Structure 1
């Protein structure tokens, strides 16, 4: 059924050579999609997290990072921090509202659930909190996070995952 819903979308693991492309997706997503919720200086401070590409690549490599591709080209990525927290979930603006975030979220929830995780958390930006709420994530607390000289608000949200079906054998 997913093949019908997402005819050109696919998910694959991150490869080390993907880091520059993922840094670009991260930067473009912030600068193009969050302007209704954050000031220009907040966006710049947030996007600066990828200025040191080696550090960014190292963080992605330490997490379980997956990439969504559209026609074979990366258009988004997401990661599990530990096994119970979404660390990253970013979609390139050109692919926004095309099911990329849903595909990535579904994959992370299935991976976490298969690892026995009962509750998945995310620190959702004000831009992304509505997306997560529609997926069943419940707000727990508001946060202020310092990025450079700027403070950004986000919301810690949790979702209780469905228990994986057990096959009797």
Structure 2
């Protein structure tokens, strides 16, 4: 699972494992800080990033979810996780690798996995920042939601796609 264009480093996609967790957590936090700042204020970004501190949740992600990792030059540049075969829990791309098709590559492989598991619908709770990407992937908006994280309200969107 690789792709390459002439001037960009090669992106390799592979299944994730527990050894990826420290780098995934760093990418999660750094991407929120750098990419989501136009859609969320500082308090919201800090509350969202604090999710990286929930070690039990992340260990459950690593143990129970289907995880794909995008790598370039032995560095994680993106990841996507699928929970219960039909819920996209996490989809993050490194701030320096945005708009290079990495999220699309990860998503298409996650959708293939859902189809392989005979799923009929994919769902996701997506940030304001990610909403347009999911719309491009033919997800439709179900509802706007307010999620409270550590006393801070964040808006996200319940979205779904029929497969």
Structure 1 residues 55 and 84: CA distance shift in structure 2, 3 A: closer
The aligned counterpart of 1:109 is: 111
Contact 2:28–2:49 (CA under 8 A) maintained in structure 1 = yes
Q: What TM-score do you get using the length of structure 1 for normalisation?
A: 0.88
CA RMSD of aligned residues (A): 1.8
- Rg comparison, structure with higher value: 1
Tell me which stretches of 4 or more aligned residues in structure 1 moved more than 6 Å.
none
* Selected match of 1:80 from 79, 82, 98: 82
Classify the secondary structure of the residue corresponding to 1:86. strand
* Selected match of 1:90 from 92, 98, 110: 92
For 1:17 and 1:25, the matched residues in 2 are separated by 14
Structure 1 residues 54 and 67: CA distance shift in structure 2, 3 A: same
The aligned counterpart of 2:26 is: 24
For 1:152 and 1:60, the matched residues in 2 are separated by 25
The aligned counterpart of 2:40 is: 38
Aligned 1:1-169 pairs, distance under 5 A: 3=3, 8-53=10-55, 55-161=57-163
Q: What TM-score do you get using the length of structure 2 for normalisation?
A: 0.91
Unaligned runs of 5+ in 1: 162-169
Number of residue pairs matched by the alignment: 161
Contact 2:125–2:158 (CA under 8 A) maintained in structure 1 = yes
